[in-house]
Structure 1
Amino acid sequence: MKVTFTDKAIEKLEHEPDGFLKLHYDIEDCGCVVNGVVQLIREDEQGSYNMELESNFRSVRIQKQYAVFFDNELKIDYLPKHQCFMLKSDNEILNPRMRYISKG
């Protein structure tokens, strides 16, 4: 799997502290695992994010058990007008207003 960050996304994230970038598949209060919502998280620890994705910017990790919900080629863009990120692939928009959370 591969993640491509757009120039806008890189510009927004390049000044963030080092750490692990993670695509967190949040299923809490979603009713069913297939209704999960993806968030972009930066943390100091790797934790249970055991699958590393190829990237043109920084390493990105996901939890292997949720890999089935992601396409092989993903793109992360930044939308300045809405001050949020977008996660998409050639097939779909996975999250048009993806939250970014920096922990640690």
Structure 2
Amino acid sequence: MMIQLTPDAEKKLKERIGNQPGRVRLIYDTEGCGCAVNGIPGLRIINEPDSEDVTVSAGDSVAFVINRRQEVFFEDAMTLDVFSGLSTFRLDSNNQTYGTNIQLVDTRQ
């Protein structure tokens, strides 16, 4: 899996990660909907990947992972952009838009 970061998205992610160790986990959040096929994508800043995470190729400046069980919900090549002046992201592929109001939540302790 590969995520192409726009320059604005890369800048915003690096700002939010800051000087602390961290990487970004792409998630497919199904909590509250009761069905695994009606989830929404999200981004979480985490300390370290867990044993179920696999690396997502996103360039050299921001480390990305995804839970191997959630890979099926996303295509192999996507683009992540940020809305200028906002803190929400847009995730697209050639075939669809995954979300236009994707939140980045810092879950580091």
Give me the TM-score of the superposition, normalised by structure 1: 0.90
RMSD: 1.5
Q: Structure 1's 65 and 80: CA in aligned 2 closer, same or farther, altered over 3 A?
A: same
Cα deviation for residue 9 of structure 1 reads: 0.4
3-state SS of paired residue (1:33) = coil
Cα deviation for residue 81 of structure 1 reads: 4.7
Identity %: 27
- 1:97 maps to a residue whose letter is N
Matches for 1:13-92 after TM superposition, within 5 Å: 13-15=13-15, 16-17=17-18, 18-56=21-59, 57-92=61-96
Consecutive unaligned residues in structure 1, runs of 5 or more: none
Provide the rounded CA distance (Å) in 2 between the counterparts of 1:23 and 1:49: 13
Say whether the 8 Å CA contact 1:24–1:39 is kept in structure 2.
Answer: yes
Provide the rounded CA distance (Å) in 1 between the counterparts of 2:34 and 2:107: 26
Q: Structure 1's 48 and 86: CA in aligned 2 closer, same or farther, altered over 3 A?
A: farther
Moved more, 12-21 or 30-39: 12-21
The alignment status of 1:93 with 2:66, answered yes or no, reads no
Give me the TM-score of the superposition, normalised by structure 2: 0.86
CA deviation vs aligned residue, 1:36-95 (integer Å, no higher than 9, x gap): 111111011213551111112422111111111100101110002543111111110001
Provide the rounded CA distance (Å) in 1 between the counterparts of 2:68 and 2:87: 29
Consecutive unaligned residues in structure 2, runs of 5 or more: none
